[in-house]
Each structure stands twice: as structure tokens, then as C-alpha cells.
Amino acid sequence: MAGLAESGSNPDVELLYDINGLAKDAPHWFDRVMEFVGEYGLLFAIVLLVLGCWWSVRRRGGEDAASNVAALVWAPLAAGVAVLVNVPIRGFVERPRPFKSHDGLEVLVAGKDDFSFVSDHATLCMALAVALFVANRKFGLLAIVLAVFGGFIRVYMGVHYPTDVVGGFALGTAVALLLSPVAMALLTPLTRAVERSPRVGWLVSARGRGDAAGRDSVIPGARKESAEAGDRDLAA
């Protein structure tokens, strides 16, 4: 398994050289920007999208706020689980970084001495993006585009083969989707409990306890209507 994609005639290697060759032709400052974006920037941007989606959901409130927030809580958890699943995969495949097996690559970041397959960055970004897509199509689609671009940059930087990135995308997607029903079954009751809390309910819904009280009644809004009726009786 360690010899995966060792041959220069392998399309995986050819694509690696084609994409990494762009780094050789680019200005030094541009490579430094790509290094920062590939290492930190895009992952940080996807995390900001998750937080932005959470802010939008809590402001909107509504009966589905708890389930929507639960889906957003699953996003970072899915990323963590996917990386944990990747640990034994990397140990089994033991694929060296491409610059250790192929000469002439422009390596933009040093110190990458661990195994190459599957890419942790690609796994993290795609798990976050797909879980976010399940929660919100608009935010999730943008996150998926950023994740794909991040995978391209990992190859551009010379630290991963294209198939390392594709494997990371597949792993992140599989974990986010396949474990989502179980995660939602466990997280939704928790977020509903948080929503009912007078102290931390704002984390789920910005509308406060009044809406939660209405949802707890047998007929939605019954308590509110009863209170208004009582006020009218007192006024009479």
C-alpha cells in the first residue's frame, strides 16, 4: 500500500505535477498567500459559515430552531469523528508525502512528515461543509465550494496527491451523512432542552421563553391567547 501512486506514469502523479507546477510559475507572494489559505484560511472560513448559519437560525427562531441548531452542532462533531476515523486509515495505507517519492515538486510548507492518504484538511473541510449543507443549503453549498478549493490548494502546495484529497472528500462526506440520523436523534433533545432554559435558551432561539412556552402547550399559542383573554376580563 505504501507504493500507491509511485509511478510517474500514474495519472495521479501527472495531475500532481500539473497542479503543483502552477506554484513554480507563480510569484513568491502569491505562494505565501496560498500557503496560508490552504493551511488555515479556508478551514477558518468554513467555521465562520457554520457560525453565521447558527446566528441566522437563532435569530429566526421558530419550531424547527432546535433541530436546525442540532444539525449545526453536528457539523464540528462530524469533522472530529471523520479525522478520528482517518487515523487507522493513514496507518494502514502508509502512503508517504508526494515530495518524499517524487523530485522537482515545489513544496510550500515544511515539516509534513506524517502519511499522506487520506488528507486531514480535506476530510475536515468536507465533513464540516456537508454537515452544514444538510442544515442549510445556501450556507452549505458555499462551504462545499470552499472545501473543494481547499483540496486543490493542498495539491498546489505539494503536500498531497489528488487522490489524497478525493479520499478525504469521500471520508468527510460519508461520516457527515451516514452518522447524521444518529447524531440528530441524540442532539435534538439536547438542543430542545437548551431552548427551554431561561439562561441559555438564546443559544437556540433569540425569541426567548415566550415562544417556548407556547410550543409546550397542547395547542400552540394557547397560553398566550389565554393570557390575553385574562387581561381583557380584568379590563372589563
Give the tens place of pLDDT for each residue, 180-213. 999 999 999 998 888 888 888 888 887 654 444 4
Predicted confidence band at 93 (pLDDT cuts at 50, 70, 90)? confident
DSSP characters over the chain: -TTTT-STTSHHHHHHHHHHHHHHHS-HHHHHHHHHIIIIIHHHHHHHHHHHHHHHHHHH-STTHHHHHHHHHHHHHHHHHHHHHHHHHHHHH-PPPHHHHSSS----S----S--SS-HHHHHHHHHHHHHHHH-HHHHHHHHHHHHHHHHHHHHTTSS-HHHHHHHHHHHHHHHHHTHHHHHHHHHHHHHHHHH-TTTGGGT-TT-HHHHHHHHSSSTTHHHHHHHHHHHHHH-
Query: Considering the entire predicted model, what is its pTM?
Result: 0.79
Q: What is the model's pLDDT at position 121? A: 92
**Of the candidate ranges 40-54, 196-210, 214-228, the one whose mean pLDDT is the lowest:** 214-228
**pLDDT per position as a tens digit, 222-231:** 344 444 444 4
User: Is the pLDDT reported for residue 163 higher than 80?
Assistant: yes
- Calculate the average pLDDT of the chain: 82
Residue with more model confidence, 161 or 200: 161
- What's the pLDDT tens digit per position in 66-85? 888 999 999 999 999 999 99
Q: In this predicted model, what pLDDT tens digit does every residue of 96-153 receive, in sequence order?
A: 888 888 888 888 887 788 888 989 999 999 999 999 999 999 999 999 999 999 999 9
The string of pLDDT tens digits covering residues 142-159 is 999 999 999 999 999 988
